[in-house]
Every structure is written in structure tokens, then in C-alpha cells.
Amino acid sequence: MNEHFRPVASEHASRLINHGPTVLVTSADGGRRNVMAAAWSMPVEFTPPRVAVVIDKRTYTRELITASGAFGLCIPGAALVDLTHAVGSASGRDIDKFARHGIAARTGPALGVPLIESGCAAWLECRLIREPHTEDAYDTCFAEVVAAAADERIFANGHWSFRDDNLALQTIHHLGGGNFVRAGGVLRAQPL
Amino acid sequence: MNEHFRPVASEHASRLINHGPTVLVTSADGGRRNVMAAAWSMPVEFTPPRVAVVIDKRTYTRELITASGAFGLCIPGAALVDLTHAVGSASGRDIDKFARHGIAARTGPALGVPLIESGCAAWLECRLIREPHTEDAYDTCFAEVVAAAADERIFANGHWSFRDDNLALQTIHHLGGGNFVRAGGVLRAQPL
């Protein structure tokens, strides 16, 4: 548990991934657990909060999600860029990546999914919506967000706040090959 | 046509939206055309390049895409933040947003979709893959990318290059309510 984490209201949960951050997908089934990185996720609905995430059918994560019907999306801050790349480059079939990298996980309040708070800006605990065709044809898994929380130093009252004093928590966005960009300065659109 | 645009190889096309930028969705059918902003898109496959994008079934864009079976994803640079918000806030049923905002469009080489180059970093011309269930249940449209191009000043040889000399072309990521973050400094992951 991280003292800075606060629950995020259901109607604000989709906003946590609105801007396209790379996420850590966490999963567990029985005594097995895993974490992998995923660049391909998006909201599909605000109310109820629903998301889609692409998880290759050959991965250990997909096996655990299919078995448990649940997963977590944890949003790593910039300080976790090396860890994010590392857990995206090795299979959990071979090692317990939580133990290997000393990753602390809490248990999700709704579904018992392992969730990462240390170094992360937020997490979403998700219940898989079974869609066999899209899971098979596009590796695309739809899910409903049943709980969410965020570090209040960067997301509070339903809004992100990117500032000079929270650089380490700012979201990262994968360009490919281990290169990320950090969500940078805020641009406020003006009416045309 | 923009002199800086170069074709992007099929196997690199999905990488154009790998990091979660807000996109402009362009569409046309017969003499009708439209452009809207969308924060919710993602790749679902590298080869063949396929994408998913959420487009509300009540929108004019969705009507044109359903009729034509095609759309464009144009990736606005930071200089277009106001335009992006503007075309995301008005319906094309009421006005021709290209004319209203003086947006120049070229015709897509594969499907004839209107595509925006001026101020954009890249575009993808997409053929809708009909998926009635996910279109209805999640407003999620799957598509195959049949052509792509990018401004060589920011994407070349299959790679993004975010530098101090191309700030105006750097991608924008919508936080909600007209607030965007620009893809900022590059972080290169180091092995753990």
C-alpha cells in the first residue's frame, strides 16, 4: 500500500489511460502471478468504465487472464522505465518477475489482482468481458474497470497534473525498441 | 501534398500510433467528408498492420466510415493542438470542418480518403474490417492499414525522432477537457 494512493471515481477511471501511456499488465491465478508491459491499450467507454488491451495469445499473462477472468493495468511513472522494458522483454513462464525485480504488489480490492503502487501513477483493476472472437482474431481483450486508484501527487479530483515536482511519476509512452517518451509539458487548447 | 512526407513501410505503420497519440479521424463518402479528433486508438497487430479506434456510433464520422468502409488516422503535431480540440468539439453534420478551418486535404493513394499533412507528423489510410458486434457493443472499429506516410523530419527509417528542432510536429496526448501533453524528452531504457 502506498500512502499517496487514493481511490479514483468510476467515471474518471478511463481517463487514467486516455492519453496512451504504456501500462504494466498484472495477473494471477491460483499461486501463479505475472506482470508484463503493454503499449497497446485504450479506453472504450467512460460509463461504465471499459477498456481494451492487446495481449498476445502466446503470453503467460494471457493464460492467467483467461483462467482468472481478471487483470490489472498499472501505469508506471518515468522512474520505472527500465523496469517496464525489463518486464516486457522476459516471459513469466521462466521467472517470477515480481521476485526477480523486487516488485511489491498489493492485492486488488475487488478481484484480488496483484497491483503495483510503488513508482506507479495509478492502477485499474479490471474484469475481463469474454469476447472469444476479438480475443482470437486481434488479441484484443475487453474489460470493465471495477476499481481504480491513483497517486494524488499526479492525479487528483479526476484530473492529471503534470508538473516539475512530479517528473518521476509522469507517464511513459513506448516508441519501440526500448525508447520511450515521457508525457511532457501541458498544452491547453484555445478556442478557434 | 507536403514535401517532407515519405511513405512508411507496412511493417512500421503500427509504430506511428504505438505511443498513444491523439489522432484526427478523416472520412468521406460521395461528396461528404469529415474530420474529428479521437483519443482512443491503438495498434492491434504489426504484420499485417492493423489498428482499433473508438468512434461513437452517433457521430457523422461513423456514418461516413460505415458507408465507405475506409478512414484515415492523421497524427497532429503540437502546433495543431487548438485545431485538434476544435474538430473534436463540433459535428460535421453542421459544418464542413475542412472549409471552416481552412484544412488542406490530399487524397489517399489507396482508398481515396482525405488525409491531412500540413501540421501533421504522419497519416495512416485504413480499410475497415467489418466487425458488427464490437462496433455495436464498444464503438470499436478494427481496420487494416493499407498505406502510411510520415514527415521525415520526425519519423524516418521506421523510427520516431523527438528533438528540440521538431517541437511543432511532436505528438499530443489528450488528458481530457482540452488539456494535452506533448510527447516530451526521450527516455532510453537500460537493461536491469
Residue of A nearest to B49 (CA): A138
Contact B178 A189 (CB under 8 A): yes
Q: Which three cell numbers stand for residue B15?
A: 509504430
pTM: predicted TM-score of the whole model, two decimal places? 0.96
Residues of chain A with C-beta less than 8 angstroms from the C-beta of B191: 82, 86
Residues of chain A with C-beta less than 8 angstroms from the C-beta of B52: 42, 52, 138, 140
Contact B86 A192 (CB under 8 A): yes
Contact A43 B44 (CB under 8 A): no
Residue B39 has pLDDT above 80, yes or no: yes
Determine the distance in angstroms separating the CA of B167 from the nearest CA of chain A, rounded to an integer: 11
Residue B75 identity (one-letter amino acid): I
CB pairs under 8 A between A and B: 183
Interface test with B, best of A175, A180, A182, A188 (most B CBs within 10 A): A175
Amino acid A189: pLDDT: 85
Residues of chain B with C-beta less than 8 angstroms from the C-beta of A78: 187
User: Tens digits of per-residue pLDDT, A144-190?
Assistant: 999 999 999 999 999 999 999 999 999 999 999 999 999 877 888 88
Amino acid B17: pLDDT: 98
Residues 6+ apart with CB under 8 A from B19: A20, A22, A39, A173, A174, A175, A180, A181, B160, B171, B183
Q: What is the number of alpha carbons within 13 Å of residue B1 lying toward its C-beta?
A: 4
Q: Which residues pair with B149 in a beta bridge?
A: B7, B123
Determine the distance in angstroms separating the CA of B39 from the nearest CA of chain A, rounded to an integer: 6
Contact A159 B142 (CB under 8 A): no
Do residues B117 and B106 lie in contact, with contact meaning Cβ atoms separated by under 8 Å? Answer: yes
User: Tens digits of per-residue pLDDT, B98-107?
Assistant: 999 999 999 9
Give the model's confidence band at A112: pLDDT under 50 very low, under 70 low, under 90 confident, else very high. very high
Contact A45 B138 (CB under 8 A): yes
Residue of A nearest to B180 (CA): A187
Paired sense of beta strands A41-45 and B155-156, if any? unpaired
Q: Which residues pair with A124 in a beta bridge?
A: A73, A148
Contact A175 B188 (CB under 8 A): no
Residue A192 has pLDDT above 90, yes or no: no
User: Tens digits of per-residue pLDDT, B52-94?
Assistant: 999 999 999 999 999 999 999 999 999 999 999 999 888 999 8
Residue B1 has pLDDT above 80, yes or no: no
Residues of chain A with C-beta less than 8 angstroms from the C-beta of B184: 181-185
Residue A96 identity (one-letter amino acid): D
Contact A187 B83 (CB under 8 A): no
Say how far apart CA B127 and CA B14 lie, in whole Å: 14
Amino acid B110: pLDDT: 98
Contact B175 A86 (CB under 8 A): no
Give the model's confidence band at B45: pLDDT under 50 very low, under 70 low, under 90 confident, else very high. very high
Amino acid A170: pLDDT: 95
pLDDT averaged over chain A? 95
Determine the distance in angstroms separating the CA of B175 from the nearest CA of chain A, rounded to an integer: 6
Do residues A73 and A126 lie in contact, with contact meaning Cβ atoms separated by under 8 Å? Answer: yes
- What average pLDDT does range B109-122 have in this prediction? 98
Predicted complex ipTM:
0.95
pLDDT averaged over chain B? 95
Candidates B177, B182, B187; nearest CB to A187: B182
- What average pLDDT does range B112-135 have in this prediction? 98
Residue of B nearest to A142 (CA): B138
- The percentage of residues in chain B with a pLDDT greater than 70, rounded to a whole number, is 99
Say how far apart CA A156 and CA A151 lie, in whole Å: 8
User: Tens digits of per-residue pLDDT, B155-191?
Assistant: 999 999 999 999 999 999 999 999 999 987 788 888 8
Contact A81 B187 (CB under 8 A): yes
Residue A134 has pLDDT above 90, yes or no: yes
Region of A172 on the Ramachandran plot (φ > 0 left; ψ -120 to 50 alpha; else beta):
beta
Residue A29 has pLDDT above 90, yes or no: yes
- What average pLDDT does range A45-63 have in this prediction? 97
